[in-house]
Amino acid sequence: MKKTAILLALAALLLAGCGTSGSNDDSCTSLVEDLLSRMTLEEKIGQTVLYTSDWSVTGPSIRDGYIDDIRAGRCGNIFNAYTAAYTRKLQEVAVNETRLGIPILFGYDVIHGFRTIFPINLGLSASWDIEAIEESARIAGREAAAAGLHWTYSPMCDICVEPRWGRISEGAGEDPYLGSLIAAAMTRGYQGDDLGDENTILACVKHYAAYGAPQAGRDYNTVDMSDRWLREFYLPPYKAAVDAGALSVMASFNELDGVPATANKYLMTDILRGEWGFDGFVVTDYTGITEMICHGNVTDAKDAARAAINAGIDMDMQSAAFSDNLAALIHEGKVSEKTLDEAVRRILTVKAKLGLFEDPYRYCSEERERELTMTPENLAFARRIASESMVLLQNDGVLPLRKGQKIAVIGALAESADDLLGSWRGAGEADKVETIVDAMRDYNGASNIIYARGCDEISDDKSGFQAALSAVSRAEKVVMVIGEDCQWTGEAASRSSINIPGVQSELLERIAATGKPVAVVLLNGRPLDLSAESQMAGAILEAWYPGTMGGQAVTDVLFGEFNPCGKLSVTFPRALGQVPIYHYAKNTGRPYVHPDAKYESRYLDVVNEPLFAFGHGLAYTSFEYSDIELGGSGFSGNGSLSASVTVTNTGEREGTEVVQMYIRDLVGSVTRPVKQLKGFQRVTLAPGQSERVSFTIDASTLSFYRQDMTFGPEAGDFKLFIGGASDNVKEASFNYSL
Ligand code: BGC
């Protein structure tokens, strides 16, 4: 062990307690201050640097230059390196071969699972099952931590009403209330209540802020919106994750109000630290610092580094702008050393809280990696949450299928293992995945499944149509698996159309014309325009990209082993021209009331209503709602009002319903949405069973950014809606006085 490493170990011993259960902040503080006082300028800058590792055919690898940087203390953080053995190797370089032995922080995109892959996040959000979503993050964190990782770039908190944007698949949909609950749950899942626990990892709130609102849905494009809209609809999920204890935040690529987030002091310092009290560190998104040269708000990389750190950025992912320029900027007085110290302090404090100074190898255990990864429990959970995430958009009775029925399965996606994992599939491996058609064969008997590819998802090749039609002619029912290639969603995967690509719909039309009952299973990562397909198919099951156990989960739902209960967390338009379309729209001065009136806020060629509304989703049973019962005619001040409905399962099988509550403030100092989600509950009911579901409305339910930008309620009359979808609700009225 080097002399310096021994010194560090001594310091750690002296300050033992930081990063372990029951650790106290004071012990972390003294450890960090002691280190800071001994660091050279170059070593400090090194802690603000994050470089990527690579993955070659033989396994993980790192560029020679980066290894030299680690050794010289010029790079304190690495992402994309994993496996217990490999991270240990790199950690040994940092601990034993650098002057101060400061451990490396290892980050990775663990977005919807690490090895066991869960549905894409848009799918997870459609489960509306907050506890299960938290559990999915806990499992992902445990698997990742066992592979040597400390830090995930999740939760992705970008509210989005723009289906052209490929990254809508990575978020929780359109709604800030649901999105906030999910952001907080995922943060709790990853971080647990003790960051020093070897099974938990650090969360990173991204992409701060408003990355989900790029103009025209083009990735990385300009974002501009009023401060009021930003605060009411876009910021809440980021804040919820910060409030839940997330200790890192990622700046988004986009500009906001003319200033790229990476140099946006209003976002990074005034709101994040000033208003929200965030005390972790902020990392850029990839080369966000040098990208500002293209944005056009800085002259060169040096100027960009200055703008970023002075705005509140602490760590530079991959651009090398900090490592190349901070020393000179400090010597020239353009950045104060105090600013750098503050960034380093924040980063080291998080490393201390992770327990890395006590034992830099605590996350690198090959034994734990073997034991905790893709366990039968993790896989069983993945199967359940995948089923829960699926949304039955329509069903004329073709579903559920009956075991033993002869089923034609059509579509290239039915035999794709890879697509089931979706984008950002962590370290998930397609060879561990059973395809939909194989899972159906396993369940229904191979001889009862007649598979034909028909066509793929992208090309115009119709040469497989005939074989598909022949398969259909030999079957009782048809399951057609169609949608998007998973690489058509995620980062840099914007589309100018939201139709089902290629000739898939044409094949569906030909199959539907045979008169055989058809159920469509959709694999996709965005709201699609399904207006044509909804006319052709008897049933449509939105399965998103359901993850490692997706094949089995789709089978469970198709055959009724699992009664679908997902509800859309994002509106599905009936035409791209309706976009942006979302349930919290305003009324306008000329609301759309009369189908034939010209001078109303409407389209000439399409109705205003979406094809499938926010909150929509069917089951193999039905639910009836009583009228709303209110605890009074209203309430005042800090009081509250209860609102309940009785929900009855009127069908023949047990089912789960997501009971949703919306409100409308009829007159405000600023105009208010005609409906806004304010609460929901999941209830599971046996056939014939009724349950009274109650909500409490208080001042916080009614609060918003008033005209003077203060946040709070206003007196007046309100409408209340409770139901099983935003467009299928019971209605009541109440008033509120201050
Ligand atoms: C993405 C981030 C991701 C980062 C690191 C970027 O391109 O925008 O979401 O966390 O890469 O992989």
DSSP string, 326-380: HHHHHHTTSS-HHHHHHHHHHHHHHHHHTTTTT-TTTT--HHHHHHHTT-HHHHH
| C-beta 491 within 6 A of ligand 1 | yes
Residue 553 Cα, ligand 1 centroid: separation in angstroms? 29
Query: Is the pLDDT reported for residue 13 higher than 50?
Result: no
Give the H or E element holding residue 59.
strand 59-61
Residue 177 Cα, ligand 1 centroid: separation in angstroms? 25
CA nearest to 731, candidates 639, 643, 609? 643
Report the C-alpha gap between 29 and 47 in whole angstroms: 17
- Tell me how many domains the chain contains: 2
Report pLDDT for 285.
Answer: 98
Confidence of residue 63 (pLDDT cuts 50, 70, 90): confident
Query: Is the pLDDT reported for residue 722 higher than 50?
Result: yes
Report pLDDT for 18.
Answer: 73
Domain end: 544, 578, 612, which one?
578
Residue 394 sits in the same domain as residue 506: yes
Residue 655 Cα, ligand 1 centroid: separation in angstroms? 38
Query: Which of 62-71, 139-148, 170-179, 621-630 comes out lowest in average pLDDT?
Result: 62-71
Marked catalytic residue, from 285, 303, 314, 556: 285
Residue 435 sits in the same domain as residue 536: yes
Residue 286 Cα, ligand 1 centroid: separation in angstroms? 6
Q: Does 386 fall in a domain?
A: yes
Q: Does 661 fall in a domain?
A: yes
Residue 635 sits in the same domain as residue 511: no
Report pLDDT for 24.
Answer: 66
What is the DSSP code string of 446-502?
A: GGGEEEE----SS----TTHHHHHHHHHT-SEEEEEEE--GGGSSTT---S--SPPT
Q: With contact defined as beta carbons under 8 Å apart, do 76 and 47 qualify? A: yes
> Biggest alpha carbon distance in the chain?
84
Q: With contact defined as beta carbons under 8 Å apart, do 268 and 282 qualify? A: yes
| C-beta 286 within 6 A of ligand 1 | yes
3-state secondary structure of 734: strand
Closest Cα to atom 8, ligand 1: which residue?
285
Q: Does 598 fall in a domain?
A: no
Q: Does 336 fall in a domain?
A: no
Closest Cα to atom 1, ligand 1: which residue?
285
Report pLDDT for 19.
Answer: 67
Give the contacts of 674 (CB within 8 A, at least 6 positions apart): 584, 585, 586, 587, 664
Q: Does 584 fall in a domain?
A: no
Closest Cα to atom 12, ligand 1: which residue?
109
> What is the chain's mean pLDDT, rounded?
96
3-state secondary structure of 712: strand
Closest Cα to atom 10, ligand 1: which residue?
153
Closest Cα to atom 11, ligand 1: which residue?
286
Residue 49 Cα, ligand 1 centroid: separation in angstroms? 16
Closest Cα to atom 2, ligand 1: which residue?
285
Work out which ligand 1 atom sits closest to the CA atom of 253: 8
CATH code assigned at 454: 3.40.50.1700
| C-beta 109 within 6 A of ligand 1 | yes
Clarify whether 270 is annotated catalytic: no
| C-beta 285 within 6 A of ligand 1 | yes
Report pLDDT for 64.
Answer: 81
Q: Does 422 fall in a domain?
A: yes
C-alpha triplet 370, 196, 367: angle, nearest 5°: 15
Residue 559 sits in the same domain as residue 675: no
Query: Is the pLDDT reported for residue 14 higher than 60?
Result: no
Give the contacts of 657 (CB within 8 A, at least 6 positions apart): 565, 619, 623, 647, 649, 682, 683, 685, 724
Residue 108 Cα, ligand 1 centroid: separation in angstroms? 9
Report the C-alpha gap between 358 and 336 in whole angstroms: 31
| C-beta 456 within 6 A of ligand 1 | no
Residue 512 sits in the same domain as residue 650: no
C-alpha triplet 224, 489, 292: angle, nearest 5°: 40
Work out which ligand 1 atom sits closest to the CA atom of 317: 5
Report pLDDT for 1.
Answer: 42
Residue 570 sits in the same domain as residue 643: no
Domain end: 524, 556, 578, which one?
578
Q: Does 284 fall in a domain?
A: no
Query: Is the pLDDT reported for residue 252 higher than 90?
Result: yes
CATH code assigned at 684: 2.60.40.10
Closest Cα to atom 7, ligand 1: which residue?
286
3-state secondary structure of 325: helix
Residue 533 sits in the same domain as residue 435: yes
Work out which ligand 1 atom sits closest to the CA atom of 207: 9
| C-beta 582 within 6 A of ligand 1 | no
| C-beta 153 within 6 A of ligand 1 | yes
Residue 442 sits in the same domain as residue 544: yes
Residue 400 sits in the same domain as residue 542: yes
Tokens of 272: 């994040």
Q: Does 502 fall in a domain?
A: yes
Domain end: 578, 612, 645, which one?
578
Residue 407 sits in the same domain as residue 508: yes
Residue 559 sits in the same domain as residue 646: no
Tens digit of each residue's pLDDT (9 = 90 or more) over 86-96 = 999 999 999 99
Best residue among 77, 153, 319 to mutate for probing ligand 1's pocket (most ligand atoms within 8 Å of CB) is 153
Query: Is the pLDDT reported for residue 8 higher than 90?
Result: no
Report pLDDT for 608.
Answer: 96
Q: Burial-class residue 599 by CB neighbours within 10 Å (0-12, 13-18, 19+).
A: exposed
Q: Burial-class residue 293 by CB neighbours within 10 Å (0-12, 13-18, 19+).
A: middle
CA nearest to 645, candidates 663, 626, 659? 626
β-strand pairing of 54-56 with 477-483: unpaired
Residue 465 sits in the same domain as residue 385: yes
Residue 113 Cα, ligand 1 centroid: separation in angstroms? 16
Report pLDDT for 7.
Answer: 46
Confidence of residue 56 (pLDDT cuts 50, 70, 90): confident
- Could you give the percent of the chain with pLDDT greater than 70? 97
Distances 534 to 469, 525, 529 between C-alpha atoms, Å: 20, 18, 9
Work out which ligand 1 atom sits closest to the CA atom of 153: 10
| C-beta 665 within 6 A of ligand 1 | no
Residue 291 Cα, ligand 1 centroid: separation in angstroms? 14
Range of the domain at 691: 623-737
